[in-house]
Amino acid sequence: MKPEKMGSPNQGIKCVVNTCHYYMSGDHCCAQQIEVQLKNAHDTQKTDCATFIPEGQSKY
């Protein structure tokens, strides 16, 4: 799933991953939607954003 990159921040998300294709300055994410994994995670460090794409790259 590669969500659309919007022209404005997704107001429901704060993200500091400034190396992501979807990152916007001010710690915003401009992906229309994101997916977070991992099922059955028991602490914060076991979760991550599966929508992440390295800046300047595309998976597709």
Interface ranges with ligand SF4 (CB under 6 A) = 13, 15, 17, 20, 22-23, 29, 31, 34, 49, 51-52
CB 20 to ligand SF4: min, Å: 3
Q: Are strands 48-49 and 36-37 parallel, antiparallel or unpaired?
A: antiparallel
Question: What is the nearest approach in angstroms of ligand SF4 to the Cβ of residue 30?
Answer: 7
Q: Which residue has the tokens 């979760």?
A: 47
Whole-angstrom Cα distance, residue 29 to residue 11? 8
Query: How far apart are CB 45 and ligand SF4 at their closest, in Å?
Result: 15
